[in-house]
Structure 1
């Protein structure tokens, strides 16, 4: 069949346009003021459900800012505001329960916040301690972060990326609702793992 027949051609293949280059920055050049790019970041969490599986979710509406000082990390600051009504776990019924008074009580507490109180750095490893406020309760939380990269994207934005995770006890913030299982244990674990993937854009 002719459309399977190979024919010899001396014509050079058409050139393929290369994507715009992404310039990698020197580490110290990340110093500056940043805003969190929510469209390329994830503020997520996971919890054990019914003692047998893990349910994951995230907040879809949030904003944040940071001052990064690579040479003097103690001068760095981070602030994040999250609207818990934007919680998404893949189940409308579960999300509705989570925004109710049993958990986040968004009618009376429409925002939860994190404000750093101490920032430390060891190479690409950063440790950020701050006040996490949920339902009017403020507790100190320490989150280790890895600096995952710095670059200038094709649109001219200077970006820096961080990944971090920590585990908290939700009862410390009065998120105490639960239900006992007939086989023992509880429906929702008290320990919640926070999973943070952040892309931030440097202010011009």
Structure 2
């Protein structure tokens, strides 16, 4: 990170064109399944003087899941994510800890299918000027959120790696008009 953390203090919004919210799930009869979500929005505040006062909120459209296989995507939307009843996946932070010069641990609630559980993301920050890049993720047990389907039991691993490559742009300060 070439810019000081203090200089990066501010409010940010995710840049959808440069952000990837993805996942990897092991499959017992073939290669791992890689996927991503194409529609999402997120905001955050970085407090460079006191990172514990930083926060982030993310909303992902469940129906935007894409793995490169339309049939599998339909199953993921309907059977796993139940997007008709639970159209969004959300993450809201409640604690941010600086763990290194540019490393952070972000703890918060992840809601999938209306089930909310705490997770802790390990993220690495890079950024210059008005842009931030955060890379990292966490591995979750999908069954903790009720994400299971008996027809696929034993075929898809319970552990799913969530992969984040986030690009955020600083929001301009409000003018006093």
The residue number in structure 1 matching 2:98 is: 121
Q: How does 1:75-114 map to 2 (within 5 A)?
A: 75-100=53-78, 102-114=79-91
State how 1:5-24 maps to structure 2 within 5 Å.
none
Deviation per CA, 1:49-77: give whole Å up to 9, x if none. 12542110000000000000111011001
Output the CA distance in 2 between the equivalents of 1:165 and 1:92: 25
Q: Going by fraction, where is strand more abundant, 1 or 2? A: 2
TM-score scaled by length of structure 1: 0.80
Q: 1:73 aligns with which of 43, 51, 57?
A: 51
Contact kept in structure 1, 2:5 and 2:49, CA below 8 Å: no
Give 5+ residue unaligned stretches, structure 2: 173-177
Counterpart contact for 1:50–1:187, Cα < 8 Å? yes
Select the structure of larger CA radius of gyration.
1
Give the corresponding residue for 2:160.
Answer: 192
Instruction: Report how many aligned residue pairs link the two structures.
Output: 170
8 Å Cα contact 1:51/1:189 also seen in 2: no
- Select 1:145's aligned residue among 118, 123, 138: 123
**CA 1:178/1:56 → structure 2, altered by over 3 Å: closer, same or farther?**
farther
The two structures have a TM-score, normalised by structure 2, of 0.92
SS of the residue 1:189 aligns to:
strand
- Residues in 2 aligned to 1:65 and 1:192: alpha-carbon distance in whole angstroms: 24
5+ unaligned residues in a row in structure 1: which ranges?
1-23, 153-157
